[in-house]
């Protein structure tokens, strides 16, 4: 096990309908690098992942977002899926929680449709990033520069398009979490 993230705490923010592999692969990569990980969600109990449109496994929530503070974590991971980021962006506490990481200059890793939450948090303006292709208009309308790349890093913000990009996404997420705060990581 690598120790490059030893002593760091990484939050994973998700709710029902997340793309399961977009949570589990980064979760394992961050844990393997030595970080403590916590699953944050809208409600206590369990949330359900999906393998595309098929219901998959359940995961125990460690903390609800109403009780979570970005200041307690060194970084944030946002898995995609369709229902997950759509529900999160409609929840003021989830949007605020994500935005606080940018205000505190902490690294954030978002994949696929998770960028919807960052559009809602108004943190993509002036940034270059990637996502599932159907979000490119939303990102451009929010002032971001969308690129079609497997992974892109912009001042501590790691973004990727889809599950096929997870290997590169995980490598860059661990790298950015290891680097820590970025002065350019602002809302």
CB atoms within 10 A of CB 106: 23
Q: How far is CA 52 from each of CA 76, 84, 85, rounded to the nearest angstrom? A: 23, 12, 14
CB atoms within 10 A of CB 176: 21
Active site residue 113: yes
* Cα-based torsion angle of the residue sequence 163, 168, 170, 174 in order, rounded to the nearest 10 degrees: -160
| pTM recorded for the entire structure | 0.96
pLDDT tens over the chain, length 187 residues: 568 899 999 999 999 999 999 999 999 999 999 999 999 999 999 999 999 889 999 999 999 999 999 999 999 999 999 999 999 999 999 999 999 999 999 999 999 999 999 999 999 999 999 999 999 999 999 999 999 999 999 999 999 999 999 999 999 999 999 998 877 777 7
Active site residue 112: yes
Q: Which residues contact 80 (CB under 8 A, 6 or more apart)?
A: 18, 19, 22, 110, 111, 112, 113, 114, 132, 162
Task: Map out the domains of the chain as residue ranges.
Answer: 9-179
Catalytic residue among 52, 113, 170, 182: 113
The topology under which CATH files domain 9-179 is: Rossmann fold (3.40.50)
Cα–Cα dist 152/175, whole Å: 13
Cα–Cα dist 14/40, whole Å: 6
**pLDDT value of position 2:** 66
Q: Which residues contact 145 (CB under 8 A, 6 or more apart)?
A: 127, 128, 129, 139
Catalytic residue among 48, 112, 152, 170: 112
């Amino acid at each position: 096990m690598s120790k490059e993230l030893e002593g760091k705490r990484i939050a994973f923010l998700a709710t029902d309908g997340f793309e399961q592999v977009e949570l589990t692969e980064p979760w394992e990569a961050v844990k393997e690098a030595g970080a403590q990980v916590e699953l944050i969600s809208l409600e206590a109990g369990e949330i359900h992942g999906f393998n595309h449109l098929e219901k998959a496994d359940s995961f125990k929530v460690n903390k609800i977002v109403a009780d979570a503070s970005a200041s307690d974590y060194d970084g944030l991971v946002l898995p995609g899926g369709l229902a997950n980021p759509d529900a999160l962006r409609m929840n003021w506490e989830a949007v605020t929680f994500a935005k606080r990481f940018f205000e505190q200059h902490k690294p954030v890793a978002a994949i696929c449709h998770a960028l919807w939450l960052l559009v809602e948090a108004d943190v993509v303006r002036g940034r270059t990033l990637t996502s599932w292709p159907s979000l490119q208009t939303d990102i451009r309308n929010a002032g971001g520069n969308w690129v079609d790349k497997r992974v892109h890093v912009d001042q501590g913000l790691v973004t990727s398009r889809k599950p096929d990009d997870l290997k590169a996404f995980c490598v860059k997420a661990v790298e950015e979490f290891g680097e820590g705060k970025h002065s350019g990581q602002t809302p």
